[in-house]
Amino acid sequence: MQPAVKAALFLIVLFAIPIVPFLWLGESFEQSLLKALREPSSREVVAAWVFGLLAADMFLPVPSSAVITYAGGTLGLFWATLVSWLGLSAGAIGGFGLARLFGESLARRFSETDDVTRMSDFTRQHGPVALLLTRALPILAEACVLMLGASRLSWQRFLPAVLGSNLVLALTYSACGVWFRESASLPIAIVASGAVPLIAALLIRRWWKPSGAG
């Protein structure tokens, strides 16, 4: 399944998560959901799931921004930021290392050809700065990390850029989760934080023609 198709399916599922159960079960379900979001049964389990999902984000269509927002609403600002930063960084470092080892073939295995071409040109022009510019954009962020690895960018240049951008991302979305934690808007905030970056990435991919495209 192509990344764009995965993204579209995920967007549908993301919107359906809070809407469909509410339509079926009514307000009682909404109240139960809000309580579960604010008071998870085990913070350690939530932290483990958040870390695991974000670490897998490099190769799976995980809505990282929505996951981090949820973490902020359940774990609090400090722990959500820390766990999210570690998860994002573990995934990015793993993907970068594998791409350095296996080259562009790995990037083409997990990204569309047009995305590989876009990121090849973009990373060649901007180097590690490309990480800062794409880190919040699903699909493009992963392609950027893989192409930087495939281009054999040094670890000394990669690590500060990816760790810094991941920290900003983790802190921003965790703060969003904390902000909406005490209101009935938390489920909406979780969906919006996943949907808005995805829509932005899809629009950019549509308008940003790779080099050589007509």
Q: What is the pLDDT of residues 7-30, one digit of tens each?
A: 555 555 555 544 444 444 444 444
Helix (H, G, I), strand (E, B) or coil at 127: coil
Whole-angstrom Cα distance, residue 148 to residue 131? 9
Write down the pLDDT at residue 6: 54
Write down the pLDDT at residue 160: 95
Q: Domain ranges for the chain, please list them.
A: 3-207
Short-list 198, 177, 201, 197, CA closest to 189? 177
Whole-angstrom Cα distance, residue 136 to residue 158? 17
Write down the pLDDT at residue 8: 54
Write down the pLDDT at residue 34: 52
**Predicted TM-score (pTM) of this structure:** 0.77
**What's the mean pLDDT in 74-85?**
95
Does 42 score more than 80 pLDDT? no
CB contact at 8 A, 43 and 73: no
**What's the mean pLDDT in 35-48?**
70
Does 148 score more than 60 pLDDT? yes
pLDDT, tens only, 44-58: 888 998 999 899 988
pLDDT, tens only, 89-133: 999 999 999 999 988 777 777 666 677 777 777 888 888 888 888
Write down the pLDDT at residue 12: 55
Whole-angstrom Cα distance, residue 95 to residue 155? 13
User: How would residue 35 be classed by pLDDT, with cut points 50, 70 and 90?
Assistant: low
